[in-house]
Structure 1
Amino acid sequence: MKPADEFRLMELCERYADEKLSAAEVTALEAELRADAEARAFFAKALHQRAELCFDDSWHAAMSATPAPDAGHAEPARPAPLRTPWWRYGITAAAAACVTFALVWLPGLRDGTVATLVRAQQCQWAGSSLPTVEGARLKPGMLDLMEGLAVIRFDSGAELVLEAPATVEVMDGMNCKLRRGTLVAEVPPQAKGFSIDTKDAKVIDWGTKFGLSAGEDGKYLVQVMEGLVEVDDKSGAQSKKLEKGQRVDHGWSQKQMHPSAGDDDDAEPSRWQPSIVMDAGDGWRAITTAFGRGKDSYIQSSDKAPHDFGTHPFFRVKHSRDTKPDLNRKGYIAFDLSQFSGRQIEDAELVLTIEPSELGFASFVPDSTFAVYGVLDESQDAWEESGLTWQQAPAHDPLQPERNLPLAAKVKLLGKFEIAQGINRGTRKLRGKDLADFLSADTNQIATLIICRETNETQDSGLVHAFATKENGTRSAPMLRVKLR
Structure 2
Amino acid sequence: MNHDRFHKLVALFQTDGISDAEFAELEEMLRNTPEARQIFHQISRIDTRLRREASNPVSVEEEDSNENVISFFQRYSFVATAAILMLTTALLWMHFSKPKVIAELVSTEEASWESTLPTEAGSKLSKGSLKLTTGIATIRFQSGAELMLEAPAKLTLETPMLASLAYGSAVMNVPHSAIGFTLKTPDGYAVDHGTSFAVRAGEGVDGSTFEVIEGEISVHLSSTGEQVRLRRAQSASISGDKLSVHDDALTEPVRKSPGKRMLRIGTNGKCTSVIRNNGRAKWLDPELLMVRYRHKAGSHDRRATFAFDLSGVNLQRMKGVRLRLNQVPSGIGFAARLPEINQFEIYGITNPEKTGWQSEPRWEDSPSPEDGVLLGSFEIPRSKQRGVCTINTPELLDFIKERQQSQVKFLLVRTTGQIAGDVTGLVHSFASDLHPETSGPTLEFELGK
Range class of TM-score, shorter chain: 0.3 to 0.5
TM-score by length of 1: 0.38
Q: Which has the higher contact order (CA 8 A, sep 6+)?
A: 1
Higher Cα Rg, which structure = 2
Kindly indicate which of the two structures has a greater share of residues assigned to strand: 2
